[in-house]
Amino acid sequence: MANILVYALQYEGAFNKNSLGAVSEAAKLAAEIGGEAHAIVVGQGVSDDLAGTLGNYGATKVLNVEGPEGLAQPVVDAMAAAVAAGDYGYAIFGGGLLGFEVGAGLAARLDAGVAMEITAVRADGGKLVAERPILGDSAISQISFRSDVGIIISRLNAFEIKETGGTAAVESLSVEFSPFSGQATMITRGEQRGADVDIEGADVLIAGGRGLGAEEGFELCEALATAFGGNSAVAATRAVVDAGWFPYAGQIGQTGKTVAPKLYLAAGISGAIQHKVGMQGAENIVAINKDANAPIFEFSDLGIVGDLNKIMPKLTEAVKAKKGA
């Protein structure tokens, strides 16, 4: 028998959706391999009531650990302590960023195998096998584990959230943090750089990437979004948000928003997996890219190979004309 331990990332009193999905998935898998799904929460003064809500997603036990938030290494200490005290065969993490750092640190600590970017997990003879799409999603590899604990880090939005109406026993676990995990201190967390734009509610998203060339390039996206009118907005990739060309609130992807508009139109975006995971639910995907080999064309419904500087202004005029007609 082996239980599954899930790291439940919590921020400002709410659990991360990807963590909730991971708890649901762990509950399903635990039932298949004859164990239980337990969750672990690390934070400052997280109430047992909040921790207990994870029972509603299938956790039978929640370990509540008092410790610093937003940094991976204290969580590695906490999970290693939980594994030492319990009977765990697997640790599962929802998609995002912190889970990658915690899962990898834990793999090192426990001499364990780790599989990342996992989109599906199946039980096979009492063991778990993880599926990872690789090389631009052109193949899927199956990964199994030889270590006592197998570590599974999922891709963003890989697992569905299922409410069970269940309850969980909450136990506090006191952890002795390792000296090095105290050598990093959070100064500010979750800073929202740039204006508060709303992309989640839009029907039409005109997304811009590094191919726009400069911050001013976003004017082309704004003009096209305006031409579509109605419920349209402009969105962006991490590359241009990191560069300060566009607000963080408008970023699609692994460490940004997940969107599912009726129309997603990309201008100068390569289509990296970490971007794709946030927009692949769009009903219609159109991409303009000057590189015929850009990965985005692999998952576009309509791809235009060409210079966005030539196409975007004319497209804006044509959409306006069509609207006026």
Partner 1 sequence: MKICVLVKEVPDAAVQKKIDPSTGRMDRSGEKNLNPYDTHAIEAAMQLKESGAMAVDEVVAVTMGPDSAERALHKAVSLGADRSIHLADDSLAGSDVAATGYALSKVLEKEAPDLVLLGQQSDDGECYTIGAVVADHLEFPSLTQVIKIDVEGGTKLRAERQAEYGYDTVEINLPAVISVGDAINEPRYPSLKAIMGAKKKPLDKVSAADSGIDAAKVGGDNSAAQWTGSSEPPKKEAGRIIEDEDTAETVDQIVAWLDERKLI
Q: Is 291 near ligand FAD (CB under 6 A)?
A: yes
Q: How far is the CB of 60 from partner 1 (least distance, A)?
A: 26
269 DSSP assignment = -
Tell me the per-residue interface mask from 111 to 150 with partner 1, x by CB under 8 A, - otherwise.
xxxxxxx-----------x-x-xxxxxxxxxxxxxxx--x
Contacts (CB under 6 A) with ligand FAD, residues 54-83: none
Contacts (CB under 6 A) with ligand FAD, residues 231-270: 237-240, 251-256, 268-270
Is the CB of residue 122 less than 8 Å from the CB of residue 129?
A: yes
Alpha carbon distance 121, 19 (integer Å): 15
Work out which of 40, 110, 114, 173 binds ligand FAD, going by CB under 6 A: 114
Tell me the per-residue interface mask from 128 to 167 with ligand FAD, x by CB under 6 A, - otherwise.
----x-xx-------x------------------------
Contacts (CB under 8 A) with partner 1, residues 226-245: 228, 238-239, 241-243
Q: What are phi and psi of 248, to 5 degrees?
A: -60, -35
Give the burial class of 140: count Cβ atoms within 10 A of its Cβ; 0-12 exposed, 13-18 middle, 19 or more buried.
Answer: exposed
Closest CA to 142 of 114, 112, 121: 121
Size of the site for partner 1 (CB under 8 A): 97
Alpha carbon distance 273, 207 (integer Å): 15
Work out which of 20, 29, 308, 315 binds ligand FAD, going by CB under 6 A: 308
Which one of the spans 22-30, 55-63, 102-110, 213-221 is the region binding partner 1 (CB under 8 A)?
102-110
Work out which of 186, 195, 214, 260 binds partner 1, going by CB under 8 A: 186
Sequence-ordered list of residues with C-beta below 8 angstroms from that of 58, at least 6 positions apart, any chain: 23, 24, 26, 27, 28, 37, 162, 164, 166
